Each structure stands twice: as structure tokens, then as C-alpha cells.
Amino acid sequence: MTVSKTAEKSAEKAGDGTRGRKDAPEGLPEALQLGELSEQLGYVLKRAQLKVFENFLHCMASLQLTPAQFSVLLLVEKNPGRNQTEIASTLGILRPNFVALLDNLESRDLCARIRSTNDRRSHILVLTDKGKAVLTRAKKLVATKHESRLNELLGQANREALLEMLSKIANEF
Amino acid sequence: MTVSKTAEKSAEKAGDGTRGRKDAPEGLPEALQLGELSEQLGYVLKRAQLKVFENFLHCMASLQLTPAQFSVLLLVEKNPGRNQTEIASTLGILRPNFVALLDNLESRDLCARIRSTNDRRSHILVLTDKGKAVLTRAKKLVATKHESRLNELLGQANREALLEMLSKIANEF
DNA sequence: GATAATTGTTATGGACCATATCAAATATCG
DNA sequence: CGATATTTGATATGGTCCATAACAATTATC
């Protein structure tokens, strides 16, 4: 360990129990300075993403849908007749990891695998009637509880600008 | 499984081998429609975050620093003399999971734990001289290779607006 | 028709996250 | 003071997500 003496000294000085700001009322636990961290896009991006997912899960509690499950339902609805490989790769999910995800949706009768008659290796994915109904309800929940709150917070125009910039990063970075 | 007959039929129709758009030149694998997915902030946010982290790791390959490790070094530099609990909780890392992270940084002589003389339970965290030097180089790499590329892509003003909106989500959502 | 490639699947390991628990040290309160 | 509760760092453990290798069945390619 090669800690400079000055480092040790300043550390002990800063950590000596009464580290309130000058003339602080009492020894209340002072908040740390984020410093340059709050300027790091990656850091803020990750924190924001966690918050958004957390709120998504909360809004979807009644339907028990995770963001990943919701995205699968949306994509299968928009692209009926595609197989697992196509749906999974579009979502950036590796085929092996997509199996359990689908098993879950299928066991809940939201999605169905159908053996293709053209290529009997592949399973064609379709939403069940229940899956369509659940997805419809899910969309409503997302719109009224989730996205609407983001609109409140940012404003409609800002939210659209945010989406556009994030898309740019996701696609062109 | 309750798949309606119409669902099965449309699925087979859409999945019948030659699923090019009308008068497509050849049977080239047609891209899936993202549909409403590209309007879901959570989805785009996650994709963007993965891209940013991926690029960060690439830029930091020479220093072998992950985003989490970089954030620890930044926070310890800005707040010398704090203990593990304070640094970890500020970063949203649980104490048990912070131990291995610190073990790594300490084994590479970037960070040091110092037993506090005031409270002999806690370990005060300090950057070593090597840690300071590495962090300085890391900051330069991030600025010149990572954040600069984001500025290219978005423009300075947009990048700042993006950061502000993400902070708002991270803190007020 | 032999070989290569694709599809879904399983097994497996790593990274990250969360909870319970522990010993040592300290704080609290009778 | 001394008994009890709390805090700190640490370990163990389990869950989830992500990545790779390998396999049988099927299809494509030559």
C-alpha cells in the first residue's frame, strides 16, 4: 500500500467525527458531494433507467409483467408469425435466454409456440386471446400511469426530445 | 392453450417462407417492425444505457476500469475520509456487494482502507497515489474518447439538455 | 447423398443484486 | 457503571440476467 502521508492526514482530518460544514447547527450526517459524477452521462443514464424500470414494474404489478415480457408481447403482436430467433435477436436477447422467458409467457397462456409447417425446426410465435387482452390492458396501464407521469415531469415536448436523443444513442453510438 | 383459429391462420400466412414486402426483389430476411416499442421510454433508455456502458468499457480498456469502479474512484477523490457505508450507499451499492468491489481496487493499489481512529469499526477510504494517477488518466480518456463522441452525436446543447432530463428522472421520478 | 448450417434447447459459469447473519466496536439507556 | 441495542465491515447464499458451448432435429448446400 502506498498511501501518501498527506493523503492519510487529510483523510483523518476529514473523517474526524465532526465533519459538518462550517458553522453547521449540529453533527447531522452531511451528504456526500457527487462532483463530476453528476456530469457523467453513463452514471445518470443508469440511475434514470433503474428508476423508470422500477416505476414500470410498480405500474404493472396487477398484470405481473416485466419490461422484458412486455416488450416480447408488443413485438409478437406487431410481428405475428415470426420465430423465436427473430423475436429474440430483435430484442437483443440471446436465444438460450429467450427460452425461459417464453416458457413463462406460455405457461401463463399469454403466448403460444406453433410448429411451423414450412420449417419444422422453428416455432412460430403468436399471442393467445388472453395474451392480446392482457397486452391491451398493459398498454393502457403504461399510458395512463407510466408514460403520463413522465410527461408531467418533463413536458410533452421534452419527453419527445429525450426519446429522440436516446434513440440516436441506441442506434448510432 | 387457447389460440384462436384466426390467430393460427394469420400466423401461418405471415410465416410462410416468402414473407417479403409486396414485390420485394428477393426473399431477403425482412426486418421486424419495432412498432410501439420504439416509443417506450424504458426500452430506448435501456438500449441507450447498454450502448453507453459498452463504449465506456471500450474507452477504458487500457486502464481496465468498469463504470462502477470509475464511479467509486471519482466519489472517493471528491469525498476523502468517508467510510465504506457512506460511499457505497451514495452510489446505490449495498454494503455486502461493495466489499468485493473495494477488494479489487485495493488489490490493484488504487484505493486503500484505513482503520479510523475515531470509530474503529469503520474503514476510511482514500485514493492511493497510483489511484490518483490512474483516475487522472481515466478522466482524460472519458473526456476525449467517450463524452466527446456523445457531443459529436448530439451536439453540446442537446447533450446538456439530455443530462438535465435524465437527472430529473433519476432524482424526481 | 454427404456435409454444413440453422433452430430450439440444455447446461453452465460469470456478473450483478438482495437478504440474512456474524463478530467487533460503539451507542444508548437504565 | 453495565446490559442491551445499534452500527460497520464482512461472509454466505440465492436470485436474476447475460454469455458461451454443446446437442438433437431439421433443413440447406454442394
Over the stretch A31-58, which tens digit does the pLDDT of each residue have?
Answer: 899 999 999 999 999 999 999 999 999 9
| Residue A101 CA: distances (Å) to CA of A5, B126, B133 | 54, 44, 45
Nearest CA in chain A to B167: A44
Residues from chain A contacting residue B109 (CB–CB below 8 Å) = 1-2
Average pLDDT, chain B: 88
Q: Classify residue B146 by its DSSP letter.
A: I
Give strand D nucleotides closer than 7 A to any protein Cβ. Answer: 7-13, 17-22, 25-28
**Domains in chain B: ranges and CATH:** 41-172 (1.10.10.10)
Is A28 at the interface with chain B, CB within 8 A?
Answer: no
Residues from chain B contacting residue A46 (CB–CB below 8 Å) = 49, 53, 67
User: Regarding beta strands B111-115 and B123-127, do their DSSP bridges make them parallel or antiparallel, or are they unpaired?
Assistant: antiparallel
What average pLDDT does this structure show over B34-62? 97
* Digit-coded pLDDT (tens) for A129-146: 999 999 999 999 999 999
Q: Point out the nucleotide closest to A85 (alpha carbon to C1′).
A: C7
Sequence-distant (6+) residues with CB within 8 A of A68 are: A91, A93, A101
**Short-list B129, B112, B45, CA closest to B72:** B112
User: Is the ipTM here above 0.95?
Assistant: no
The confidence score (pLDDT) of residue A31 equals 87
The confidence score (pLDDT) of residue B31 equals 87
What average pLDDT does this structure show over B98-124? 97
DSSP string, A115-154: E-SS-TT-EEEEE-HHHHHHHHHHHHHIIIIIIHHHHHHH
Beta strands, E only, B55-141: 111-115, 123-127
